[in-house]
Structure 1
C-alpha cells in the first residue's frame, strides 16, 4: 500500500477495502481510459459495485476457517523458527527479538472495514482514529500464544505499526487487554513521519538480533520490496526467496495492500469506474476461442 501514498499502511488498506459507493449509488460517468485500462471494459468491470468485491474479501478474513487455519499456520511456523534461533544463540550474541506488524498481523482490523461497507463510506482519518481509540480489534488466531511463548523464552517483542502516534495508547490498551506481552511504550512503535519502517527496525537491531519478522505486507520486512509494479515486486520476492517461512513470516490479507496499489499505478484517488477497469485489465485471461492465455497489464 505504500509508495503510492503518504497514508499509513492501515489507511491505505481501508481506502480500498472500504472504497465503497453503496449499491444504490448512481453509476459514475465514463472517463477517458488511463494506462492499464482497456478501451472497451469487459462485463466484469461494469458489473457489481467495487464494494461488493471488498465485501467478499472481508468476509473471507472474518468468517472462513481457511483464514483461521492460515493464521495458525503462520504463528506455528514462527514458533518453530524461533526455537531454532534460540538453540543457535550463544551467550555472546545480542538478545533476540521478534518484530511484528500490528494491523492484520496480530490484530484484526476488519470490523472497521465492515462498518465502512455497511455505511457506504470510504476511509477517513477521523473515523479510523475513532475506531482505534475504541480498542475493539480482536487477536489474529495464534498470535497471543506465540508472542507469549517468545516473551517467556526471553525474547523481546516489538510491535512496529503504521498506526499514527496519536493512537499509541489505545493500541497498547487493545493489545494488553487481549493478553499480548510487552505491550508498553518501549515496545509499541507507531508511525511518526513516515510509513517506511526501516528506521524503526534499525532501532531494534541496534541492541538485538531479529529472529523473525511477521507482517501482512512486504514492506513489513524490507523496504526493498517497495516497487512500482507487480513484476518488480515479484522479482524482489524471488531475490529473498530463502527468507520466507524462515526469517520472514507472512500473514494472508486479500482485503488491501500494496499489491493493489500497483494495479492503480499508485493513484488511489481514481474513480471506482477506473479501479474496476484497471482490475479487469490486470487479469490473466483464458481466450476460449484460441485456447491461449493473455497476460494482464
Structure 2
C-alpha cells in the first residue's frame, strides 16, 4: 500500500517513539523482529564494534606518529562514520517501509542516532593533539542544527572552534564538473583548504578559527566518495590501498552506500 508523504511522516513519527528506543550496537534485540542481515550484523554482531574501534585506534596512532602541519584538520563523514543510524534502518524494517527523504529527515530531527564505536575516542585524540575536525556530511544543510544537537548529546568534545559541520547544499551538487569537483563533497573540501567555509554555528556568527586555510591530513568515512576526487565508478582499490590508514580511512557500512 502506498502512503502519502504526510501519512508516512505521521506514521514514522509514531513509530520513532518505540523504534528509536531500539538502540544500535547490540541493543536491537526482539525475537519478533526480522532484520536484514546487514542491519543485524551492525546492531548485534561483536565483529562490528571490534572492527570500528580497531580502525579508529590505528588511525589515531598513525596521526600521533606523524609530523603534523599547522592548522591541520581531519575531514570526517557523519553517518556510519560518527553517528550510527542502524536504528533508522531497523525502524524501516519493523514498519515495512523503505528509505525516503521524508522518513530520513524525520529521523535526523529526532536526534536519536548513537555513536559509531571508537568515534568518540578518535575525535578526542584529534582535538587533544591540537587538530580540528571538519564534518562534511551529505545530510541536507538545513538539518545542520539537528545534527549538531545529536552530536553534542552524545558527549563529543566539539565546539565551534574545533569542529566545522557542513551539510550538503544545492551548490555542492551543482559544482560537480568531473574535473576539479568530482563528487559533491569536493567543493567543501576545497573551501576548507582556502578558508572560505560555511560552518554551522548555533549563534549564526562566523568563527575566525575557520576563516583561514587548513591542511587536510586525513579523510575518514564509510563510503569511497568520502575520499577527495573519487567516485564509486572511478575508484581503484589497488591505488588507494597504500594510503589506507595513513591519510584515508574507510569504516564498514553494509547497510547502504553509493555502491
- Structure 1 residues 169 and 184: CA distance shift in structure 2, 3 A: farther
Q: Does structure 2 retain, via aligned residues, the 8 Å contact 1:172–1:184?
A: no
> Superposed, which structure 2 residues align to 1:22-171 within 5 Å?
55-85=36-66, 88-89=67-68, 93-171=69-147
TM-aligned CA deviation for residue 212 of structure 1: 1.3
Contact 1:196 1:223 survives alignment (8 Å): no
Q: Which deviates more, 134-143 or 201-210? A: 201-210
Residue number in structure 2 paired with 1:254: 254
Deviation by residue 1:190-212 (Cα, 9 ceiling, x = unmatched): 01112710011112222121121
User: In the alignment, is the contact (CA less than 8 A) between 1:158 and 1:189 conserved in 2?
Assistant: yes
Distance 2:143 2:39 in 1: 23
- Structure 1 segments (4+ residues) deviating >6 Å: none
TM-score normalized with structure 2 length:
0.71
Is the CA contact 1:175–1:183 (under 8 Å) kept in the aligned structure 2?
no
- CA distance, structure 1, for counterparts of residue 84 and residue 145 of structure 2: 17
Question: In structure 2, which of residues 166, 185, 210 is the aligned counterpart of residue 189 of structure 1?
Answer: 166
Once the two structures are superposed, residues 158-187 of structure 1 have per-residue CA deviations (whole angstroms, 9 ceiling, x without a partner) of: 111000012100000000111223354961
- Structure with more relative contact order (C-alpha pairs < 8 Å, separation 6 or more): 1
5+ long unaligned stretches in structure 2: 1-33, 174-182, 195-212
Encode CA deviations 1:81-128: one digit per residue, 9 max, x unaligned.
11023xx13xxx431111110000111011111111111111111111
Shift in CA distance, 189/183, structure 1 to aligned 2, threshold 3 Å: farther
| Secondary structure of 2:65's aligned partner | helix
Q: 1:212 aligns with which of 206, 215, 218?
A: 218
Give the count of matched residue pairs: 196
Residue of 137, 144, 155 corresponding to 1:179: 155
Larger Rg: 1
Where 2:117 maps in the other structure, the secondary structure is coil
Aligned with 2:189 (options 175, 192, 201): 201
Q: Which runs of 5+ in 1 are unaligned?
A: 1-51, 260-297
CA distance in 2, matches of 1:94, 1:203: 17
Contact 1:71 1:141 in 2 (8 A): yes
- Contact map agreement 2:72 2:214 (CA 8 A) in 1: yes
Residues in 2 aligned to 1:170 and 1:202: alpha-carbon distance in whole angstroms: 25
What SS does structure 2 have at the residue aligned with 1:255?
A: coil
Cα distance in 2 between the residues matched to 1:190 and 1:255? 21
CA distance in 1, matches of 2:169, 2:104: 16
Cα RMSD for the two superposed structures: 1.8
